Chains A and B, each alone.
Chain A
Amino acid sequence: MNMVTLIILRRMRVPFLLLIGVYSITILGMVLIPGVDDQGNTWHMGFFHAFYFVSFTATTIGFGEIPYALTEAQRLWALVTVYSTVIAWFYALGKILGLIQDKAFRNAVATNKFKNDIKAMHQPFYLICGFGETGKAVVNSLTEEHYRAVVVEKDEKNLNQLNLDELKEYVPSIVGNASEPDMLELAGIRHKMCQGVIAVTASDETNLKIAISSKLLHPEIKVACRSEFKDVEDNMLSFGTDHIVNPFESFADIFSMLIHSPSLYLIYDWLTGAPNTILSEPIYLNKGPWILCGYGRFGRELYKHLKARNIPTVIIDPDKSLKEEFDEKGEDSPFILGTGTDHKTLNRAGIVTASGIIAGSDNDSNNLSIIMTALDINPNVFVIARQNKWNNHILYSSFGKQNKAPEDPITCLIMHPREIIARKIRAYFLAPLLNNFLSLARQQDNEWSNITVSRLSAIVGDSRPHVWSVRLEQSSAPTITQALTYGRSIKISHLTQDPGNRLSKLRCVPLLLIRDKKELLLPDDELELEKGDEILFCGTYDVKNNMHWTLNVMRSLNYVMSFEDEPESYVWRLFYYLRNKSERRNNR
C-alpha cells in the first residue's frame, strides 16, 4: 500500500472511530425520542431523517427543526448532538491539519511525488547526485539544452534553491543520501530512460560509493564522477567508471592548451562553454618565466606542464617540507619560501620580468592578495588564479574587468572547479566527440589553431555556439542512409546547405568525422559520406534544427541535392507516371 494513504489511515483511526461513535449515539437518540407532528400526533423520527438532522448539525450548517418543530425532549437531545458532534468534527479536522504539517508525513508526500515523477519520465534523463555548486552548474547546462535531470541531495537547503532557480525543464528532486543504494533505486537508476549517473558530491568517498552502486545496479549505465584524489580515482577506474573528472588535472590540461596555443584555448573555451559563451578575443602570452605561488595539488599539476614545455618557473610556497621534498626529487627550478602576498618575495621571484603568475593556494584571501600585489608591481603580467569558494566569484571576476574596455584581450584566467567539472561532464554526455576533437586539436600547431579560430568566428563567431553530432544511421538519418543505398553520392556540403533555400549555406562547421574508428579533423566539404559516419558539427541552435530536415525528410534532401521533387502520394505518382509515359510517346 502507498505510504501516504497508510499514514493517513493509521493516524485517522481514532478520529474516525470517535465520529462513528458520536454519530450513532445521537442518531439513535433522535430516533428513540418521540416527537409531535403538525397535527399533534406522536411521531417518531426515522433513521433517514435522524441521519439528515445529525449531519447538518454536526457540520454546523443547521437547517433548523425539520420536518416538524422539535419537542422539548428532542431539543435537549439536539443540544447533546450539537456539542458532541461538532467537537468530534473539530477534533478530526485538527488531526488532519496536524497530519499535513507533520514532517514525516510531508516527507512521505514528497517521496511519493518524486516516485511518480520518475515513473512518468518518458524522455532520457540524467541522475545527478549532489546539488552543490558543481551539481547546480551541471543541472543548468543539461536543462539549458532541454535534457531532463533528476537530483538527489543530502542538504535540504541546497534543494530549496532548485525551486527558485529558473530552469528550463522541471527537475524532480529528493532529499537523501545518494551513497545509499535504496536512494539511487528510488531516483530511477534502473529506469529504462536513465542515461547516466553523475556523482558530484563534495566528498570523494561518497562519489566512489555512488559509482560502485550504480555499476552494480545497472551495469550498462554511464557513470561520471568528480574526484580530487589520485587513489580514489584509481579505485573508481578499477570497476569501470566511465568518466572521472579531477578539477585540478582538468585545469592543468586547459592551462597546457593555453601555453601551447592561446587560440586553441579560445576554441576550447568557446565550444565547451556552449551555449553560454561567445568567442572571445585571442590571448597573447609574453615569453618569459612564470611564477607559481602554492605548490599543492593544483600547483604540482601546473608545474608538470610548465616543465614539459621547458618554461622557466619560480615556485613560492610557505611549506618547508614541500621544499625539501622538491629538492630531493632533484628539480632545478628555484623554490622560495613565502606566501607571495608581499612585494619582497614577489620581487625576489622576478615579477618584473615574469610573463605570468599563478595564484594557486587553497586560500582565497591569499590568492587575491597575491594577484593584487603582482599587478601592482607589473600590470602586464598574465594572471592565473585558483578560486576555491564560489561565493568569491565577484571578487575574482573584478580583476578581468578593472580599468579595461570589454573588447580588450583577456589578461587573466580564473579556475572555478565547478565550471570546469560541469563543462567536462556536459561535453562527455551531450557531445562525446568534442573530447576527441579537442585532443586531436592539441596535436596541431598554433598556426592551425589560429586558422580554425578565424574560420569559426567567420561562420558562427558572434552568436552562441551549439555543438552536436550526427550519426548516419537508419534511426538518426533515414534519408541519407536510404539515398546511400540507392548509390547516390552525398557530400558534407549537402548537409550544410539550407533546406529552405539551397543557394545559401547553413552557418555551421563540421569539426570532426569518424569513420571506422578513424578520426578526420575538419573534414573537407567535398568529402563523400558513407553509412555509419559520425560527424561533429558546430553552429547555432536553429541550424541544428534546419539540418534535421535534410536528415529526416526525403524531399528536403532531394531539394538540397537539386533533384526534382518526387511525388509522394498514390494519386500524384500515378499522374506523374501517366504524364511521363505520354511525353515519352510524343518524343518517340
Chain B
Amino acid sequence: MNLEKVVFSFFMILALTLNFGFFYGDVGNPDHHNIYELFAVIVINLIATVLKFGDRSQLGAMLLATSLVAVAQLISASVVWTFAVHIQESGMTPTVMATIVSLSGGALLANIISVILLMMEAAMLRH
C-alpha cells in the first residue's frame, strides 16, 4: 500500500462526495444548501488540484484539467454568492441559489470524471 496514493485518492473522492452533498436537494431552496459545505468543497478541491501538480503523464494532465474545471466552477459559485449577499444586497433569492447550485453541479460532473479516471488508472495497474 502506498500512502501517497491513499492521500491522493482520499482528497479526490472527498471532493466528489462533499460536492454531491452540497448539490443534493431542491435547486432553488437555500435551506437545502449549506454555505459551510460549499466552503469545504472549495478547500478540498483546491487541495486535490495542488496534489495533481507536476505529473507528466497524459492521465495526470487530464486529472489536473478536471480539477481546474471543478475549481473554476466552484469559485464562480462562491463569487455569485458573495455578489448576491454582500454587494447587490438582494439577499439569497431562489434564483441566485439555483445559479449557485447549478454551477456546483458542473463541478460535480468534473469531479465524477476525475474519479472515473482515477478508477481507470487503478484498473490498468497490474499487481
Q: Which residues of A contact B (CB under 8 A)?
A: 1, 6, 9-10, 12-13, 16-17, 20-21, 24, 27-28, 31, 46-49
Which residues B25-59 have CB closer than 8 A to chain A?
A: 35-36, 39, 43, 46-47, 50-51, 53-54, 56
Which B residues form the contact surface with A (CB < 8 A)?
35-36, 39, 43, 46-47, 50-51, 53-54, 56, 61, 78, 81-82, 85-86
User: Would you call B53 and A9 a contact (CB within 8 A)?
Assistant: yes
Asked if B47 contacts A46 (CB within 8 A), the reply is no
**B85 interface neighbour in A9, A16, A48, Cβ under 8 Å:** A48
Secondary structure dominating the interface of B: helix
Nearest Cβ on chain A to B52's Cβ, whole angstroms: 9
**Bound-complex Cα distance A113 to B85 (A):** 47
Count CB-based A-B contacts (< 8 Å).
Answer: 41
CB distance from A553 to the nearest CB of B (A): 55
Q: How far is the CB of B39 from chain A (nearest CB, A)?
A: 6
Residues in B whose Cβ lies below 8 Å from that of A6: 54, 56
Q: List 23 A-B contacts (CB under 8 A).
A: A1-B56, A1-B61, A6-B54, A6-B56, A9-B53, A9-B54, A13-B51, A13-B53, A16-B50, A17-B47, A17-B50, A17-B51, A20-B43, A20-B46, A20-B50, A21-B47, A24-B39, A27-B39, A46-B85, A47-B78, A47-B81, A48-B82, A48-B85
Alpha-carbon distance A392/B46, docked complex (angstroms):
64
Most A C-beta atoms less than 10 A away, residue of B35, B61, B82: B82
Q: Which residues of B sit under 8 angstroms from A16, Cβ to Cβ?
A: 50, 53
Contact of A47 among B39, B50, B51 (CB under 8 A): B39
- Complex contact B39–A28 (CB within 8 A): yes
Distance A6 CA – B54 CA, assembled complex (angstroms): 5
A17 to B51, CA, bound (A): 8
CB–CB B50/A13 < 8 A = yes
B78 CB contacts on chain A under 8 angstroms: 47
Which residues of B lie under 8 Å from residue A13 when comparing CB positions? 50-51, 53-54
A12 in contact with B43 (CB, 8 Å): no
Contact of A48 among B36, B47, B86 (CB under 8 A): B86
A100 → chain B closest CB, angstroms = 17
Chain A's nearest CB lies how many Å from the CB of B12? 14
| Complex alpha-carbon distance, A251 and B61, angstroms | 59
Tell me the bound Cα distance from A11 to B125 in angstroms: 27
Question: Could you tell me the distance in whole angstroms from the C-beta of A138 to the nearest C-beta in chain B?
Answer: 38
Are B53 and A12 neighbours in the complex by a CB distance under 8 Å? yes
Contacts of A17 in B (CB 8 A): 47, 50-51
Given the complex of chains A and B, what is the CA–CA distance between A417 and B117 in angstroms? 63
Q: Would A46 and B50 be within 8 Å (CB), given that A1-B61, A6-B56 are in contact?
A: no
Minimum CB distance partner of B78 in chain A: A47
Residue of A nearest to B35 (CB): A47
Residues of A within 8 A of B51 (CB): 13, 17
Interface centre among B36, B39, B51, B61 (most CB of A within 10 A): B39
On chain A, the residues within 8 Å of B35 by CB distance are 47
Whether the Cβ atoms of A10 and B54 lie closer than 8 Å is yes
Q: Which of A6, A17, A46, A47 has the most CB of B within 10 A?
A: A47
Across chains A and B, which 9 residue pairs bring their CB atoms closest together, nearest first? A10-B54, A9-B53, A24-B43, A9-B54, A16-B50, A48-B82, A20-B46, A48-B86, A13-B53
